[in-house]
Amino acid sequence: MKNNNLNLSDLRQPNTIAMAGANNYNENSGQQYLAMGASLPLLEGLEFGLNATFVDYGCSQGAASVAVMQHLVARLRPHSVATLVFNDLPSNDFDSLIKLLPKIRPTEPTAKIYPCIIPSSFYNSVMPPDSVDLGFALSSIHWMRQMPEPKLDTQSFEEYLRVREIHNLAAAHKDLVEFLDLRGQEIKQGGKLIVAVPCPCVDDNDGRITGNGKLRRALFRGMEILISQGRLPTNATARILPPTHVHTEQSFLAALNETKTAWKIEKVYSRVIPHQAYPAMLEAQNKTQDPEIKKIHGKEYASKMVDFISAVFKPFMQAWWIEQGLDREISEQVFLECAELAKIDFVNGGGVNYPVAQDYPHRAFDSYSLTEGYSQNFMVATSGFESSYCIA
């Protein structure tokens, strides 16, 4: 296996890695699907002209995207046409998305739709100027443009996370300003942008505890065991965290204030989105007195949670392992073993006693009017895996 003499300037490269392919993300993104559902109220009252363009920035394999597009095309007027644009990184599994496209059907029989795919980073311009009526980005704009720096051998994991967070704060701010500037050029005056994005969980501060940390730790423990067995390179955990940054409401607004284009935020609300597997496990466990059967349901929950996190982490883990010299086929096998170890750790570490994210009542923020003479209305629905807010 390659000995890793890291040259950080070489490694700061744009992220090109998408979600786990072969429909895996679609099958394991139930929580993101709920976040999508939580943003649907933001579509209420929207009306479109006879020739409308809708763009999903970061559509992935389409489960959530197609559902939103269906809501939009259901509003089309008689004899109208709509272009439905699905954007994601070129490495995205667009095949799985394509299979879902026939599900989108206008309710109005004389309306016509034209789905198309634009494989490109949303940190580039995706659409021509002033061409988009409604853009949406669900669980996607917390993805940064560049890969994070890898962890150095000399750093403890805590040190690494601290340094990474400092770097991410600046980089994610720049990225968000850029994203909003680009969308500001593409979205027509009076057009809308809907965003759903994770925001920080107030985990533990108010007595609510989630299993989120335990889930991530379980995955790392799986890797550590495999490293200790010589199955993975010693630095196998060094660059496997996806390039994401969770914005606070303040940091989101700070980026908005810096955009060249002007936006008006119309609505914002926050919601914690719990993974549906947790209440499902509790319900199943409540139906039995048998502790062994309760344990089985706990294991099923652990399995779903590890599959859920893997749908996002796996491509980053494998890409890094392969870069470090692991054979691609072996990386598949080792990944499966790692996931199995993580499932066991999540159970043994008590992760099954907590929801991955938690529910609390919908919290409505005040409406903001940021600028005068704005050229677009800004609709943001931020919701997510941990806690969330929506602006519309």
Where along the sequence are the contacts to ligand SAM (CB under 6 A)? 18-19, 29, 32, 36, 58-60, 64-65, 87-89, 92, 121-123, 138-140, 143, 312
> Angle 212-228/328-348 helices, nearest 10 degrees?
130
Q: What are phi and psi of 263, to 5 degrees?
A: -130, 155
What's the min distance (Å) between Cβ of 292 and ligand SAM?
35
What's the min distance (Å) between Cβ of 14 and ligand SAM?
8
DSSP one-letter code for 350: T
CB nearer ligand SAM, residue 339 or residue 381: 381
> Angle 30-39/63-73 helices, nearest 10 degrees?
20
What's the min distance (Å) between Cβ of 178 and ligand SAM?
10
What's the min distance (Å) between Cβ of 36 and ligand SAM?
5
CB nearer ligand SAM, residue 4 or residue 39: 39
Contact 35, 388 (CB under 8 A): yes
CB nearer ligand SAM, residue 69 or residue 226: 69
CB nearer ligand SAM, residue 178 or residue 300: 178
Q: CA-CA distance, 148 to 161, in Å (whole number)? A: 11
- What residue type is assigned to position 341 of the chain? L
CB nearer ligand SAM, residue 37 or residue 370: 37
Q: CA-CA distance, 241 to 327, in Å (whole number)? A: 20
CB nearer ligand SAM, residue 60 or residue 324: 60
> Angle 277-286/291-323 helices, nearest 10 degrees?
160
CB nearer ligand SAM, residue 123 or residue 321: 123
Q: CA-CA distance, 234 to 324, in Å (whole number)? A: 10
Contact 373, 190 (CB under 8 A): no
What's the min distance (Å) between Cβ of 19 and ligand SAM?
5
What's the min distance (Å) between Cβ of 200 and ligand SAM?
17
What's the min distance (Å) between Cβ of 66 and ligand SAM?
10
Q: Please, where are the H alpha helices in 28-156?
A: 30-39, 63-73, 94-100
Closest among 382, 299, 374, 371 to 340, alpha carbons compared:
299
What is the full DSSP assignment across 267-302? -EEE-B---THHHHHHHHHHT---HHHHHHHHHHHH
What's the min distance (Å) between Cβ of 367 and ligand SAM?
25
Show the tokens assigned to 70: 């269906």
Q: CA-CA distance, 265 to 380, in Å (whole number)? A: 7
CB nearer ligand SAM, residue 15 or residue 324: 15
